[in-house]
């Protein structure tokens, strides 16, 4: 369900699949690792305020593919269903609430509320990660790293950090399980989803992706960023303007995060390196200035 995290792309930079990750080196302790049994799933029902008629659906929703038992399923099918249900519910909510928003604006708002990071945060808020049945020895460490990273970004990082996908998966699988358990009622499912995802990102606090922000600034001042892709060698992306380094970002596990970090760094350094808004105005072409004067005259008449 990893969707359009990057709204625009930097010139000359080829993106790899957002899910591309480097496999961690195997450690000897992994062979001896044994999962700690998670708490009872009845606690989940108390947390979400919904009690399942079919308890097997709840169990399936929290069973990772690494922990499938005989005659049981992992959460993958419920995740698939929950993804579609969630997108429908959020699209309906936004379509109803924001009657003057354009389709592109609605798409960006929906994306911010249902992307991997938003759902991973919802899972942490409800402590649902404690109930995952899995046999992934590195998973708990990744979740703790994510918990530490989001402190810097109270609402959303917009691609600056790499959330464990399994956290988003269990939110979607849980939504799918609820949808089936309430006989496919969207209205009844929404009552639970609304509590799970509260508070939602609104147009007032929606921010742009770092790459989109940088592109917008560069287009405004007619600047052409150039990228240097060092991700394969050292996990780093560098961004230059007028052959001067204005930003760099590093993330060895996922390239898209390195790109976003580089774009954010470049955006923050742009006016300091190239000049502030006033000193950048002379960079506008004469034709652009003429077009602006003409536009002002037309408005005046």
Q: Is the dihedral of CA 143, 147, 149, 154 positive or negative?
A: positive
What pTM does this model have? 0.77
Read off the pLDDT of residues 139-196 as tens digits, 9 standing for 90 and up.
889 999 999 999 999 999 999 999 999 999 999 999 999 999 999 999 999 999 999 9
Tell me what pLDDT residue 52 has.
98
CB 273 within 8 A of CB 265: no
Read off the pLDDT of residues 209-257 as tens digits, 9 standing for 90 and up.
999 999 999 998 899 999 999 999 999 999 999 889 999 999 998 999 9
Residue 3 in this model has a pLDDT that exceeds 50:
no
Strand order from edge to edge, sheet including 225-230: 225-230, 236-241, 244-250
Helix (H, G, I), strand (E, B) or coil at 284: coil
Of the listed ranges 27-36, 150-159, 260-269, the least confidently predicted one is 27-36
Helix (H, G, I), strand (E, B) or coil at 53: coil
Per cent of the chain over pLDDT 70 is 76
- Pairing mode of beta strands 244-250, 225-230: unpaired
Which domains are assigned to the chain?
Answer: 28-197 (1.10.1520.10), 210-300 (3.30.160)
Residue 18 in this model has a pLDDT that exceeds 60:
no
| Range 62-71 average pLDDT | 75
Residue 283 in this model has a pLDDT that exceeds 70:
no
d(CA 285, CA 37): 66
| Range 64-79 average pLDDT | 80
d(CA 289, CA 285): 6
Of residues 247, 255, 239, 294, the one with CA closest to residue 272? 247
What is the number of residues in the chain?
301
Cβ contacts of 280 within 8 Å, gap of 6 or more: 221, 271, 274
- Whether the bond into 199 is cis, omega within 30 of 0: yes
Tell me what pLDDT residue 136 has.
81
């Amino acid at each position: 369900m990893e969707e359009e995290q990057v709204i625009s792309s930097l010139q000359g930079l080829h993106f790899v699949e957002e899910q591309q990750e480097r496999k961690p080196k195997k450690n000897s302790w992994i062979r001896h690792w044994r999962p700690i049994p998670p708490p009872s799933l009845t606690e989940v029902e108390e947390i979400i305020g919904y009690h399942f008629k079919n308890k097997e659906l709840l169990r399936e929703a929290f069973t990772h593919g690494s922990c499938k038992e005989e005659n049981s399923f992992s959460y993958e099918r419920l995740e698939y269903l929950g993804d579609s249900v969630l997108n429908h519910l959020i699209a309906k909510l936004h379509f109803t609430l924001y009657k003057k928003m354009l389709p592109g604006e609605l798409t960006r708002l929906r994306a911010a509320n249902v992307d991997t990071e938003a759902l991973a945060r919802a899972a942490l808020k409800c402590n649902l990660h404690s109930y995952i049945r899995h046999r992934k020895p590195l998973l708990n460490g990744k979740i703790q790293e994510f918990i530490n990273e989001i402190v810097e970004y109270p609402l959303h990082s917009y691609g600056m950090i790499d959330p464990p996908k399994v956290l988003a998966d269990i939110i979607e699988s849980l939504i799918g399980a609820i949808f089936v358990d309430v006989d496919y009622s969207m209205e009844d499912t929404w009552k639970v989803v609304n509590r799970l995802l509260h508070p939602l990102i609104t147009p007032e606090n929606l921010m742009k992706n770092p790459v989109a922000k940088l592109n917008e600034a560069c287009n405004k001042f007619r600047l052409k960023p150039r990228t240097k892709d060092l991700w394969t060698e050292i996990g780093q992306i560098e961004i230059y303007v007028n052959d001067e380094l204005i930003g760099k970002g590093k993330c060895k596990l996922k390239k898209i995060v390195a790109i976003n970090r580089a774009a954010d760094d470049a955006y923050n350094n742009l006016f300091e390196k190239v000049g502030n808004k006033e000193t950048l105005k002379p960079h506008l072409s004469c034709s652009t200035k003429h077009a602006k004067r003409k536009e002002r005259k037309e408005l005046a008449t």
